[in-house]
Every structure is written in structure tokens, then in C-alpha cells.
């Protein structure tokens, strides 16, 4: 299944990199749904993590990308949402493996941590990699069971 729709969000600290990565994805033919923020004015990242996760939960797109200063806060907030498996990645190997083995559906990274070129490489690995399933499915099922309090 080729993914051609993605949701993006950022806070003020990730805004500039979000715009650049969004343009990169659009140039590759992706439809990018931007849930905000719309400026570098200080804001709470939790608002945008929630908006992105809700969009995924509602079937707007299968994958999302969140950008803040480090990616850590966004990943923490995103992982509080049922059905969301967010991974903070600073390298291409982690981005590829989190899709292959964890079926991650949200990628998080930080504008203060990585540059534009690396961010695009990480995003490309994330969107181009499929979940392997097989023995990894049981682990993803265990993660999903945590959403149910099991």
C-alpha cells in the first residue's frame, strides 16, 4: 500500500522545519494536511499533537509527522492517544525500523536537533517503509492492548 496522504503538526520551535519538510513531501506528490501551528509565536505543543492524533484516529491519513524543538514532548503527548504509536527519531535507521518492527504511525523529531537534509531523509525512510508483520505483530498487539488497560 503506497501512502500518499500525511498529517503534519508542529509547535513554534518546529514551525520552520515543518514548512520545509511539508514542501519536500508535496514535491514528492503527498497530500499534506497541516494541523498547525501557523507561526513561530510561542504555543503549547500538546494542542498540535492532539489535533494530529485525532486526525489519524478519524482516518484522515494513516501517518503523521510532529515537529517541536526536540521531538520528545510531541512523542510523549502523541503516545497518550489510543492507537497512536509515535517514535522520536534522529536517524534514518530508527525511522525505518520503527515502521518495520513497531508499525509506528507518527514520526517525531526536533528542529533544534536535526537539520533539513537529515529530516527529509528520515521522513523518506518513514513513509517508504512498510510494517513487516509476522513475529512483530504480537508486539504491536501488546502495545495496542495497553490502550485497553490490559
Catalytic-labelled residue, pool 53, 68, 88, 108? 68
Residue 1 pLDDT > 70: no
Would residue 50 show up in a list of annotated catalytic residues for this protein?
Answer: no
Predicted pLDDT of residue 43:
97
Residue 122 pLDDT > 90: yes
Local structure of residue 88 (DSSP, 8 states):
E
Predicted pLDDT of residue 13:
98
What does the pLDDT look like over 79-118, one tens digit per residue?
999 999 999 999 999 999 999 999 999 999 999 999 999 9
What does the pLDDT look like over 3-23, one tens digit per residue?
799 999 999 999 999 999 999
What does the pLDDT look like over 32-60, one tens digit per residue?
999 999 999 999 999 999 999 999 999 99
Predicted pLDDT of residue 3:
77
Catalytic-labelled residue, pool 43, 50, 101, 136? 101
Which residues 6+ apart lie within 8 Å of 50 measured at CB? 77, 81
Q: Per-residue confidence at 146, pLDDT binned at 50, 70, 90?
A: very high
User: What angle separates helix 15-27 from helix 116-128, to the nearest 10 degrees?
Assistant: 50
Beta bridge pairs of residue 65: 8, 107
Residue 147 pLDDT > 80: yes
| Rounded distance between C-alpha atoms, residue 129 and residue 98, angstroms | 9
Predicted pLDDT of residue 29:
96
Fold assignment, 5-147: Ribose 5-phosphate Isomerase B; Chain: A, (3.40.1400)
Total-model pTM = 0.97
Which strand ranges, in their side-by-side order, compose the sheet holding 86-88? 31-34, 5-10, 63-68, 106-110, 86-88
Amino acid at each position: 500500500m503506497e501512502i500518499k496522504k500525511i498529517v503534519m503538526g508542529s509547535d513554534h520551535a518546529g514551525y520552520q522545519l515543518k514548512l520545509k519538510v511539508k514542501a519536500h513531501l508535496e514535491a514528492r506528490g503527498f497530500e499534506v494536511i497541516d494541523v498547525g501551528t501557523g507561526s513561530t509565536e510561542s504555543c503549547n505543543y500538546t494542542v498540535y499533537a492532539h489535533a494530529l492524533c485525532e486526525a489519524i484516529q478519524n482516518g484522515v491519513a494513516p501517518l503523521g509527522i510532529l515537529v517541536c524543538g526536540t521531538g520528545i514532548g510531541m512523542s510523549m503527548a502523541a503516545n497518550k492517544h489510543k492507537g497512536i504509536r509515535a517514535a522520536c527519531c534522529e536517524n534514518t535507521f530508527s525511522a525505518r525500523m520503527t515502521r518495520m518492527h513497531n508499525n509506528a504511525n507518527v514520526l517525531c523529531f526536533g528542529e533544534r536537533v536535526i537539520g533539513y537534509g537529515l529530516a527529509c531523509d528520515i521522513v523518506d525512510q518513514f513513509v517508504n517503509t512498510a510494517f513487516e508483520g509476522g513475529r512483530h505483530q504480537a508486539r504491536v498487539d501488546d502495545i495496542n492492548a495497553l490502550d485497553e488497560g490490559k
